């Protein structure tokens, strides 16, 4: 049985969900990672995988909140020994999209087939460049075999995403061509600092523009915020983190996003309709220069609705 309820013993009803409910939750299933990307502040080398029963309980709670999509993340999710079972649990609970993000290093044919059987719908595999460098080894050269396995066996959607700013800019362009040729969907992420703020030099900006041109019309998500960030330095939006988007860490704590873990914290099992509503209306002081694309996307439908003016958030530079 779930150990707490969403709204006084009842799941959210559809009206409540329409008003403030989560579109996407990212669930950390292990903080440990087999790699150490130079730009990343989201991993350690020591944590154990979160026990399956704890994760199943968190998934049930997310379902009570009527969360539409769940994305398993980390750390590196493939280090979790029961990853396929977790995906099966997500299907049994009725999540519409069952997603994961991986660096790809641990993929095998058997694991991909287990993902197929258990109902994975979307995988994001991170490929930053062509050859390993000091910052990232998530590159085509060591990952070619894994990517071939995916091209051959995956029955789920595969998005190949690279972080612009982590490898020589020309390599990002080569990754996009490779993704296209192999039936994957290319996507680029802009490198951010530990507060989720943009951090690119002029050469990287030029690579971003070229990548955008290559990816074409499918590229522009969340209302073209990247171009605005680059041209104007800011791209203000009403961030609905804590409501339309939930980041659930390895301890079962909800945060606005991976970059603001020290700012807002509440135990998922105690998360209520009132929390969703409060966080929906809470302005985030980091919004104007935010590069967290999935939160911008989850926030886009509610841009016409207001937010309350609040005091500056401790620990986050004001926009
Ligand atoms: C934290 S990782 C976890 C999943 C998995 N280990 C991976 O690398 O795909 C999730 C995503 O965040 C991206 N990421 C991590 N740090 C970043 C940063 N500073 N700027 C932009 N993207 C970042 C990674 O490249 C990856 O696509
Ligand atoms: S593989 Fe993912 S979690 Fe691991 S260090 Fe790189 S970005 Fe971070
Ligand atoms: S604006 Fe929202 S998503 Fe972006 S860093 Fe702040 S809390 Fe995170």
Question: Mean per-residue pLDDT for 247-267?
Answer: 95
Neighbours of 133 (CB within 10 A): 15
What mean pLDDT is predicted for residues 102-108? 97
Tokens coding 141: 């050269």
Map out the domains of the chain as residue ranges: 14-302
Closest-CA residue, ligand 2 atom 8, reads 40
Mean of pLDDT over the chain: 88
pLDDT band for position 134 (cuts 50, 70, 90): very high
Say if residue 31 is exposed, middle or buried (CB neighbours under 10 Å; 0-12, 13-18, 19+).
buried
- Ligand 2: lining residues by beta carbon, under 6 Å: 33, 35-37, 40, 42-43, 74-76, 103
pLDDT band at 223, cuts 50/70/90? low
Over range 10-16, report the average pLDDT: 85
Domain 14-302 has CATH 3.30.70.330: no
Task: Give the pLDDT of residue 166.
Answer: 82
Instruction: With 0.85 as the threshold, say if the pTM is over it.
Output: yes
pLDDT tier at 272, thresholds 50, 70, 90? very high
Query: What residue's CA is closest to ligand 2, atom 6?
Result: 37
Average pLDDT over residues 246-253: 98
SS3 148: helix
Tell me which of 163 and 70 has the higher pLDDT: 70
- Please determine, for residue 315, whether its predicted confidence score (pLDDT) is greater than 50: no
pLDDT confidence of residue 36 = 95
């Amino acid at each position: 049985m779930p150990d707490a309820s969403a709204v006084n013993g009842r799941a959210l009803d559809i009206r409540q969900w329409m008003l403030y409910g989560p579109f996407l939750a990212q669930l950390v299933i292990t903080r440990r990672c087999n790699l150490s990307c130079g730009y990343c502040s989201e991993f350690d080398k020591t944590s154990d995988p979160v026990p399956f029963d704890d994760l199943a309980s968190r998934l049930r709670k997310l379902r009570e909140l009527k969360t539409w999509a769940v994305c398993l993340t980390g750390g590196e999710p493939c280090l979790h020994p029961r990853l396929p079972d977790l995906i099966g649990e997500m299907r049994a609970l009725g999540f519409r999209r069952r997603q994961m993000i991986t660096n790809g290093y641990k993929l095998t044919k058997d694991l991909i087939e287990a993902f197929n059987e258990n109902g994975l719908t979307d995988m994001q595999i991170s490929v930053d460049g062509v050859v390993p460098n000091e910052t990232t080894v998530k590159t085509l050269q060591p990952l070619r075999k894994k990517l071939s396995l995916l091209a051959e066996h995956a029955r789920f959607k595969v998005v190949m995403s690279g972080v612009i700013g982590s490898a020589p800019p020309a390599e990002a362009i080569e990754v996009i061509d490779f993704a296209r040729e192999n039936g994957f969907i290319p996507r680029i992420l802009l490198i951010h600092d530990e507060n989720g703020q943009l951090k690119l030099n002029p050469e990287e900006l030029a690579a971003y523009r070229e990548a955008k041109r290559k990816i074409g019309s499918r590229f522009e998500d969340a209302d073209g915020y990247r171009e605005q960030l680059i041209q104007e330095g800011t791209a203000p939006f009403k961030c609905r983190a804590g409501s339309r988007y939930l980041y659930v860490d390895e301890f079962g704590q909800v945060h606005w996003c991976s970059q603001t873990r020290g700012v807002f914290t509440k135990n998922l099992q105690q998360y209520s309709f009132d929390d969703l509503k409060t966080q929906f209306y809470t302005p985030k002081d980091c919004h104007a220069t935010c590069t967290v694309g999935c939160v911008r996307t989850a926030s886009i439908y509610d841009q016409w609705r207001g937010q309350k003016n609040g005091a500056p958030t401790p620990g986050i530079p004001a926009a």
